[in-house]
Structure 1
Amino acid sequence: MRVAHRTAELSVDDAVRASVSYDQLRAGEDGLYWLESRPGADRGTTVTRWRASDGKRDVSPKNFDVASRVHAYGGGSFAVAAGTLWCVAGDGLYRSRPRSNEPELVSRGCFGDLTIGDGELLAVRESEQGDQLVAVSFTGASQMRTLVSSPGFLGAPRPGPGRLAWTAWSERDMPWDACEVWTASYSGHGGVENPVKLAGGPEESAVEPQWGPDGVLYFVSDRSGWWNPYRWNGLEAEAVASIAGECAAEPWELGYTSYGFLDDGRIVAIVQEGPRQRLVVIEPDGTVCPVDLPYTSIKPYLAIQGTTAALIGSSPTAAPQVALVDLAGADVRVEVLARPEHAELDRTRVSTPTELRVRVASGREVLALVYPPTDAASDWRAPVIVRAHPGPTASCLLRLDWQAQFFTSRGFAVVDVDYLGSTGYGRVFRESLYGRWGLDDVDDCAAVAVHLLSTGRAVPGQVFIRGASAGGYTALHAVAENGPFAAATAVSAIVDPDRWAQTVPRFQRAHAMRLGGGAGPVRAADVQRPVLLIHGTADEVAVIEDVRELAEELTSLGMAPEVLLLPDVGHYVATSDRAGAALDAELTHYRSVMAGAANNQEGLHRGKR
């Protein structure tokens, strides 16, 4: 969706309805498939198919929300074979046969990373006891078979010529810290034999195994300090190309495909460098050739057919869209297959960001994306919302964010900070927040805010910090010290890392332990600025009890926070049906603080008279 022309405040309904999301793009036998999430009245996640012959249409059953809960964050929620859709919903694995309106329950449980094997479906099944790689016959004639078991975690079951590859990591690790690639002999309806570890270990994250058209196993490893592509030559892993960037996304979800193979022997890969993502083609000799595309953000879901790559791309002026990129000739051609359709926003002017680099006390540079108020002059001065991204291993990305535009259309500047620990800057940067969480991330966000104040961009007393999940913890600690922030908004926030380590889903327990030991819990007695707490009552990642306790303690100390509890909403508030209420509450919070400061200032002037 290209946007221009109209200048007006973006309504809450428009900001929410425009936030259509595309995910898990993959090539099928008869077209391209992806998940499409539609907030608002059409809320839900459906499997959508595109074919050149008849275009785009939904293929999952009506009112059936396709979503996986495996490893808490899901991934690999569907697969298609011989016209049958296999998909995951809340309580288990389902099969939807051609011309059938009712999905058939295959097995209850927690499944993800659905993959087509040799005449059977492969998947990851999770329980509190550990993970299994399982296989289900397409005919349904035999019971589910277990191929591999682990008390830790498994992912990426990828069948090759007579073999199966997969990833594994222990319950003491996160997959971006230590992840292994394994392979074993495999045949449909049989077992796996003689498993061998090919890559990965305590200091190496090896992810996304794929079998190339040459029958060779490829994967991505960060052994060089960056996630780069490798191949197994039968004796050892050899580098496919050397790139000073990340050729894989931080693996929060299963089912990522950050690279693929063209039928002429070249490899297509997504590369992230700071907040920017781009597409490259790797020649057989390792030469890396950039592909000129109108996108600065590309999701880790490439689907390759012949010499065409399908992707989900966006930019600061183009909402996420599914596109075909023809790489056959020298001239790259792009065809858009799906994009959000919202006529009211087609003419809306948006704020586009500039990159800001700020040096912090340790000598590091912190990168931030600054979105000025919509239609601001070059010498703009405005209230500022600093946003600490979740993760904290995530990053700010250069893509159209309608919720940011909601605030810039109302005269705010929005600033996204890639603080220490973000992805896109190499393994060392990503790991450096361990034991420093709530300290260095807060310092980085504060340094950006102080810079904007000192250069006259930000209005004193009108600089706010906002964060979700791990970013909510950052935001709360930022107002628990005497810094530049006038108030904080914490959405789905983590409050006490030690208690969080006991309640978080098993996938993230190792993360909680590694991050901890820095600033410790958010203590109500330390909070110095007004706080808005937004939390879903069904949040399983950051349980609501800690937020309720913090709110009660703040109230007892005379600093009663604003609190918005969202019934039946999980960890992802921004994609829930209450996203609009959360936006309204956040805007009201900032305006209330600004009005209070203005009244105090007026009172001071009257007192002097």
Structure 2
Amino acid sequence: MAEDFAALSVEDAVRASTSFDQLRAGDGALYWLETRPEAGGRGAVTRWRPGEGIRSISRERFDVTSSVHAYGGGTFAVVEDTLWCIGEAGLYRSRRSSDQLEPITQGRFGDLTVGDGELLAVRESEQGDEIVGVSLAGRTQVRALVASTSFLGAPRQGPGLLAWVAWSERDMPWDACEVWVAPYLPGGDIGSPRKVAGGSNESALEPRWGPDGALYFMSDRSGWWNLYRWNGDAIDAVGPIAGECAAEPWELGYVSYDFLADGRIAMVVQEGPRHRLVVVEPDGAVRPVNVPYTSIKPYLAAQGMTVSLIGSSPTAAPQVAVVHLADGHPRLEVVARSEHGELSAAQVSTPTELRIGVPGGREVVALVYPPTGSAADWCAPLIIRAHPGPTASCLLRLDWQAQFFTSRGFAVVDVDYLGSTGYGRSFRESLYGRWGLEDVDDCAAVANYLLGVGRAVPGQVFIRGASAGGYTALHAVSKDGPFAAATAVSAIVDPDRWAETVPRFQRAHATRLRGGAGRVRAATVRRPVLFIHGTADEVAVVEDVRELADELAALGVRHELLLLSEVGHYVATSSRAGAALEAELAHYRSVTAAAVVGSGDHKAASGSCSRT
């Protein structure tokens, strides 16, 4: 292995992982949720207004967070001088004129939005979901508007109407989701509802009322999530495109499109690992907007002739930026940057896109990060990363955890295996019943290709994954293949048991995925494993990992178990993210050192490659 090249410290890697989410606009200002690992992963609502700069408007040390549907979303809304926000105990209100944070009601809430004189929200219980209205003035009252034993989301007010989405407990919202509307009577009841779109083979998402009074929404009825318009009678496609114009809805409150003052619509499009910003003209023409970002979060916020976004690229950490679109020549105004801001390509490892053919006539797409500062013909120890989800994707953006390893002589490779998003509905569904098989084969195919072209050091190829990716990594070292060791973070171990213990939102996901490789069994694990798991993980319970680790110990299989006290499912944004990174690095180095000692090949200490 090469010597460290300007190695990124673990403290810098953690501090640089600041997250911006839930961007909103109103009253000439921008608001977003800012999460910093060094602050223990607490969420804070931040405001930017021209001439005033940036300031936090939520209470210090209060964590703005939501556990609705396990993954949260839509955790705040600003109404005049009042911040409404969600904390661990429920819904809160904070008036600018007061230092008090007033608790309103307990429960799991999300998707806060402003209705007609009241705050609209989704409230979840084990019995089902409700869309509720909370009075904005006077005595605070909470009333149920819509109730279901299944799932609800996206309450959006229109002209005397309310729109929302609904999906059953047998489905995930990216499998089958419906858009509904009903008369919205302030202070009274909701009228008779009517289904507009969606069904057993259609995912309809993100309803929003346009300035023309029509209801817009995303649907994958064409095989791609595209924008549609309902005028109360007919449904028409708006700017059809062979790309994903919506993100897989793990959280509530996504905004993948918004309306400009001149009748155009700003929209984010994902094509594989890349995002781009486009505008849809009134005649349906789709025109690209030149911005320096390859990754754009599903939180657009339009005001007048500007659209604000959260974007990043391989050399730019996440930024909040305003794109001015008034004169046909887009102008970018960056209003907030996360730690380290922009870097030159020489300071970081810039990924390249790799496409390789696999059996079945399809391609696997991967992003390859070479060791920082390496020559064009680099060869290095290799870390294959299976993204979580598995209904998710690798993204072309500045990834500080990748930089932590590339600055230490590793190459890092993110794989968009079968089932990833960004490639249409058919590709997304293809892993159902094949989990632990096709995803493992795709990761191994990428590793074997890089070994074959002399980019990877034989015997020093590792695989790591978090959550569902951890399940993929464990199965990858449970069969013959290129991997010398695995790191499994917040890993799922047994799909059948996971289907019983996972929060209700994801039970349908577990049911549809399972049926492939089955439970990870200690007797089949052939390579060293590092487990990293939070003791407070409610998505993938720690007991399954403890049990597998005990079974490996009884069989004498080399492994380590790092338990992170009071850490939940998201290790990378927790206060223990640094400890996890250091443990992973030590794991790879120890496996490499053991292999060198065992083989007696001292040349392997610095890596050796063979090209075929």
TM-score by length of 1: 0.97
Alignment of 1:548-567 (within 5 A): 548-567=546-565
2:488 aligned partner: 490
1:474 aligned partner: 472
1:76 aligned partner: 74
2:460–2:592 contact (8 Å) kept in structure 1: yes
1:200 aligned partner: 198
Unaligned 5+ segments in structure 1 are 1-5
The answer as to 2:583 corresponding to 1:585 is yes
Structure 1 residue 172, shift from structure 2 partner: 0.5
1:551–1:560 contact (8 Å) kept in structure 2: no
Alignment of 1:412-561 (within 5 A): 412-561=410-559
The whole-number CA distance in structure 1 between the counterparts of 2:377 and 2:397 is 24
2:281 aligned partner: 283
Residue 191 of structure 2 aligns to a residue whose secondary structure is strand
1:8–1:348 contact (8 Å) kept in structure 2: no
Judge which range, 136-145 or 381-390, deviates more.
136-145
The answer as to 2:186 corresponding to 1:188 is yes
Alignment of 1:184-333 (within 5 A): 184-333=182-331
Structure 1 residue 233, shift from structure 2 partner: 2.4
1:19–1:402 contact (8 Å) kept in structure 2: yes
Residue 445 of structure 1 aligns to a residue whose secondary structure is helix
Structure 1 residue 188, shift from structure 2 partner: 2.2
Instruction: Look up the equivalent residue of 2:77 and give its one-letter code.
Output: A
1:3 aligned partner: none
Deviation by residue 1:104-127 (Cα, 9 ceiling, x = unmatched): 000000000000011110000000
Structure 1 residue 29, shift from structure 2 partner: 2.5
The whole-number CA distance in structure 2 between the counterparts of 1:44 and 1:137 is 28
Structure 1 residue 143, shift from structure 2 partner: 2.3
1:72–1:505 contact (8 Å) kept in structure 2: yes
Deviation by residue 1:367-398 (Cα, 9 ceiling, x = unmatched): 00000000110100000000000000110000
CA separation of 1:348 and 1:127: change in aligned 2, threshold 3 A: farther
Query: Number of residue pairs matched?
Result: 600
1:174 aligned partner: 172
CA separation of 1:142 and 1:37: change in aligned 2, threshold 3 A: closer
Structure 1 residue 535, shift from structure 2 partner: 0.2
Instruction: Look up the equivalent residue of 1:18 and give its one-letter code.
Output: A
The whole-number CA distance in structure 1 between the counterparts of 2:138 and 2:126 is 26
The whole-number CA distance in structure 2 between the counterparts of 1:348 and 1:48 is 32
The answer as to 2:108 corresponding to 1:110 is yes
Instruction: Look up the equivalent residue of 1:429 and give its one-letter code.
Output: F
CA separation of 1:331 and 1:30: change in aligned 2, threshold 3 A: closer
The answer as to 2:151 corresponding to 1:153 is yes
TM-score by length of 2: 0.96
1:471–1:493 contact (8 Å) kept in structure 2: yes
The whole-number CA distance in structure 1 between the counterparts of 2:548 and 2:43 is 34
The whole-number CA distance in structure 1 between the counterparts of 2:289 and 2:26 is 25
Residue 172 of structure 1 aligns to a residue whose secondary structure is coil
2:608 aligned partner: none
2:527–2:558 contact (8 Å) kept in structure 1: no
The whole-number CA distance in structure 2 between the counterparts of 1:440 and 1:181 is 33
Structure 1 residue 45, shift from structure 2 partner: 1.1
Instruction: Look up the equivalent residue of 2:247 and give its one-letter code.
Output: A
The answer as to 2:378 corresponding to 1:397 is no
The whole-number CA distance in structure 2 between the counterparts of 1:70 and 1:325 is 32
Judge which range, 30-39 or 73-82, deviates more.
30-39
The whole-number CA distance in structure 2 between the counterparts of 1:20 and 1:461 is 35
1:29–1:81 contact (8 Å) kept in structure 2: no
Instruction: Look up the equivalent residue of 2:9 and give its one-letter code.
Output: S
Residue 173 of structure 1 aligns to a residue whose secondary structure is coil
Instruction: Look up the equivalent residue of 2:167 and give its one-letter code.
Output: W
The whole-number CA distance in structure 2 between the counterparts of 1:198 and 1:42 is 43
CA separation of 1:160 and 1:298: change in aligned 2, threshold 3 A: same
> What percent of counterpart residues are identical?
73
Structure 1 residue 604, shift from structure 2 partner: 11
The 4+ residue runs of structure 1 with deviation greater than 2 A are 341-348
The whole-number CA distance in structure 2 between the counterparts of 1:142 and 1:324 is 35
Residue 193 of structure 1 aligns to a residue whose secondary structure is coil
Instruction: Look up the equivalent residue of 1:600 and give its one-letter code.
Output: G
The whole-number CA distance in structure 2 between the counterparts of 1:22 and 1:106 is 26
Structure 1 residue 147, shift from structure 2 partner: 0.2
2:5–2:408 contact (8 Å) kept in structure 1: no
Deviation by residue 1:522-581 (Cα, 9 ceiling, x = unmatched): 000000000000000000000000000000000000014111000000000000000000
Alignment of 1:590-609 (within 5 A): 590-602=588-600
The whole-number CA distance in structure 2 between the counterparts of 1:530 and 1:384 is 16
Structure 1 residue 54, shift from structure 2 partner: 0.5
The answer as to 2:355 corresponding to 1:357 is yes
The whole-number CA distance in structure 2 between the counterparts of 1:545 and 1:46 is 32
Q: Pick from 33, 36, 60: which aligns with 2:34?
A: 36
Structure 1 residue 15, shift from structure 2 partner: 0.2
Instruction: Look up the equivalent residue of 1:448 and give its one-letter code.
Output: V
The whole-number CA distance in structure 1 between the counterparts of 2:23 and 2:518 is 40
The whole-number CA distance in structure 2 between the counterparts of 1:208 and 1:575 is 27
The answer as to 2:373 corresponding to 1:371 is no
The whole-number CA distance in structure 2 between the counterparts of 1:501 and 1:43 is 27
Residue 475 of structure 2 aligns to a residue whose secondary structure is helix
Instruction: Look up the equivalent residue of 1:173 and give its one-letter code.
Output: D
2:40–2:575 contact (8 Å) kept in structure 1: no
CA separation of 1:560 and 1:291: change in aligned 2, threshold 3 A: same
Structure 1 residue 225, shift from structure 2 partner: 0.1
Instruction: Look up the equivalent residue of 2:128 and give its one-letter code.
Output: G
2:409 aligned partner: 411
CA separation of 1:117 and 1:455: change in aligned 2, threshold 3 A: same
1:124–1:154 contact (8 Å) kept in structure 2: yes
The answer as to 2:130 corresponding to 1:132 is yes
1:165–1:183 contact (8 Å) kept in structure 2: yes
The whole-number CA distance in structure 1 between the counterparts of 2:597 and 2:178 is 59
Residue 430 of structure 1 aligns to a residue whose secondary structure is helix
Structure 1 residue 345, shift from structure 2 partner: 7.6
Structure 1 residue 342, shift from structure 2 partner: 4.2
Instruction: Look up the equivalent residue of 2:441 and give its one-letter code.
Output: D
The whole-number CA distance in structure 1 between the counterparts of 2:135 and 2:498 is 39
Residue 411 of structure 1 aligns to a residue whose secondary structure is coil
Instruction: Look up the equivalent residue of 2:566 and give its one-letter code.
Output: D
2:92–2:105 contact (8 Å) kept in structure 1: yes
Deviation by residue 1:119-156 (Cα, 9 ceiling, x = unmatched): 11000000000000000101252521000000000000
